[in-house]
Amino acid sequence: MSTNSQRLGKYELLERLGQGGMAEVWKARDTLLQRYVAIKILHANLQEDPNFITRFEREAQLIASLHHPNIVQIHDFQITRIPESTTPIAYMVMDYIEGGTLDEYIASTSARGKIPSPTQIVHLFTSMSLAIDYAHQQGMIHRDIKPANILLDKNNTTRNPMGEPILTDFGVAKLLGVTSSTLSASQLGTPLYVSPEQVRGYPGNERSDIYALGVILYEMVTGVPPFRGDTAVNVFTQHLNVTPTSPALINPSLPTALTLVILKALAKDPNERFASAASMTAAIAEALNMPVPESLGQAAYSQDEANMPTYLHSPWQLGTAPLPPSSTSGVDVINRAALHATPSAPSGGAQVYQVAPPRDGTAKTGDPQATPLPAMHSPSPPPSQQRRRWRTLYGVVAALIIIAVLGSAVLVYFLKYTTAQVSPALASAVVGHCFFVSSGQLNPDSAQGIADQLEIDLQNIPDPQSGKGYYAWLLPDRHPKAENDPLQPTPQFALPLLLTSSPLPVNHGRISFFYKGTAQHDNLFSLASRLL
């Protein structure tokens, strides 16, 4: 919105507080009630949808119906026109919360090696989980929970010294009628907190919000989010198919029970996550050897290790720091640790969790000290129970994976009119990677699908013999689910899918191939999990 217009009806615009891909937020004054408010103005390019006005009015009413002390209250919503524009402006008026965001708080504490105390963590998550569960009970899913969407009310520090958390942007993604498959990268915002099912193009549900809470908890106790990378696509594919580094490897002081809680919240399968935010917070309190807050009620949770992820070590190297994000020239790195100062070394002998090594070995003084998490034993789990379902291996090629083939080839090359076998030399030497690409997120002006393209990059490939060549296919799951999966879309293409009708080109021992996808921009990852 142009800053030339300083009024929207009875509201006087004072200061633009922030701007994102979907909206901008202003501090304003209600000239009739003489009070400050915050106004979220939706970007005009999102209003070209012919169903927008009807959906805006319906969803805004639902958002305004939420009444909870930890959810920002919506007071008004309007669609109006301003003199200098022929495009209607849609906006929502809400409480103005004075204070920072949880994103800023994490940047000044956890990201600098100063982990909040167990009491602070439990109280903070109690407030947030009560708000989230309340909204879920009203049929409202957030779908975009992240620290930047959690305001900290500095005028209310009774329970939380950093400020009482107030969740904002509830239901905005649905109000705009967009999902991760139709949003551009700028509209989707940071990919650090998005759930795997949303990356796959589904709208998400209550368990998607639980996943985002798990990412926030991981970040608060380690100082870094579980997945970082050079590009949004890189991070998306990690959410889909990469096991997060155990938080205990980054912060060795974490109790094992808390590590289990975090990994359960970050389960790839939504059904393996906590059933509610309150049950997750109750598990956090138990893991930290603290009483479960009475406000959570009888939140049911289980620390049954048979139903929790068992990745208590790094999938890459045990005993080492997590792998840093790869570097790509000219691309902004999505990594909170790179945005803030390196954590300082402990001073005065007090314990400060070091989530990243200092640039030098000199201890610095004057830094605020963190309250260390107490060392404790995790609660004894109940007897193991047989898993009710096995976890499907979602897309070997979906994540940005580096495949070192030691005993077999990543790409079995097929030679025209022959059944020749791959040589042992080839099987032991092929090294490469492949990953899905979402055209809609790479092109800010596009609203196309997600995981609709594929890139293959292989090295140490010998030239094919005369008249022969290499080909690549996408194959379906080797072991399809025995039961119907309601989330699985109806296939729009036949498998196996031949990616090219002509041989893959080999250039100095390297195959670099980009599959542009089908004409319908089908979600390849939702149906295929193997590359041949």
Active-site positions read: 144
Q: Which two tokens stand for residue 239?
A: 């959410």
Report which DSSP code applies to 340. S
- Of 60, 56, 38, the closest CA to residue 47 belongs to 56
Q: Which two tokens stand for residue 30?
A: 């209600």
- What CA–CA distance (Å, rounded) separates 60 from 74? 8
SS3 state at 530: strand
Residue type, 412: V
DSSP one-letter string for 199-260: HTT----HHHHHHHHHHHHHHHHHSS-S--BSSHHHHHHHHHH-PPPPHHHH-TTS-HHHHH
Peptide bond connecting 496 to the previous residue in cis, omega within 30 degrees of 0 = yes
DSSP one-letter string for 16-51: EEEE-SSEEEEEEEETTTTEEEEEEEEPGGGG-STT
- What CA–CA distance (Å, rounded) separates 61 from 75? 10
DSSP one-letter string for 107-169: HHTGGGT-PPPHHHHHHHHHHHHHHHHHHHHTT---S---GGGEEEETT--SS-TT-EEEE--
| C-beta separation of 439 from 449 below 8 A | yes
